[in-house]
Amino acid sequence: MDGMSVMRRTIAAATVGIAATFGLSGTAAAEPATPDDVPGLAELRTQADKPEEKAAVEALATSTVLRDVAGAYTPFLYTAPTVGCGTVAPVTLTLASGTTGPTAEVKANEISFQALSAYPGVVKSSGLNVAWINTSTGASGILPLDGVTEGGYPALNKVVTTGAGTVVASIFGTVGYTNATCYVLPTVGSFFVPEEGPLPAEAAQPAPAPAPPA
């Protein structure tokens, strides 16, 4: 078994512990939706081939965030535990978030997913992915966060067309630096994606008041 396989198994096993620590398995007061209750979850599971993809999908499936939330910029529920890199010990954190439109950069029916590692240095490669499911329509997918900056460096982001509705997503994978590789354990978040509509600047403005009589 090669080093990457060992690391993947370690990440998958650690994810179970992380999920338990953050209470992602549900409670008696608020039970998460079961696989049969969530449209598209079975299809998403078939798209998960690698151990880290399966772990991320299960973290998503067993989370308690399968509910409607509002807001344009929404952080994921918790910063993702990140192993293999760090300034003192080989452990750090990764912040993930999602931005919904409509804006100049993100259209209606889209989410811009992005991540930021606490590890200092210039990012050389992105192995981050996002697994997502639209609980309103059943649409789903697993895509790489393969955006790039103007300078050609990995931006650790991705604009995804999810369709309108409530989207639950999990970000996971690796971030490569010149001297280290960070392994990002899954973090889960829920986002409300609005239907097609005008940009805020294009919204109808109230008619001006009539001029007073001369």
3-state class of 146 per DSSP? coil
Q: Using an 8 Å Cβ cutoff, are 53 and 143 in contact?
A: no
How do residues 168-188 score in pLDDT, each as one tens digit?
Answer: 999 999 999 988 899 999 999
> CA nearest 140: which of 40, 69, 53, 32?
40
> CA nearest 82: which of 15, 137, 163, 37?
15
Domain boundaries, the chain: 3-196
Of 19 and 207, the structure prediction assigns the larger pLDDT to 207
pLDDT of residue 198: 52
pLDDT > 70 fraction of the chain, expressed in percent and rounded: 67
How do residues 110-167 score in pLDDT, each as one tens digit?
Answer: 999 999 988 888 899 999 999 999 988 989 999 999 999 888 899 999 999 999 998 9
Of 104 and 168, the structure prediction assigns the larger pLDDT to 168
Q: Quick one: 3-196 is in which CATH superfamily?
A: Immunoglobulins (2.60.40.10)
The whole-model pTM stands at: 0.68
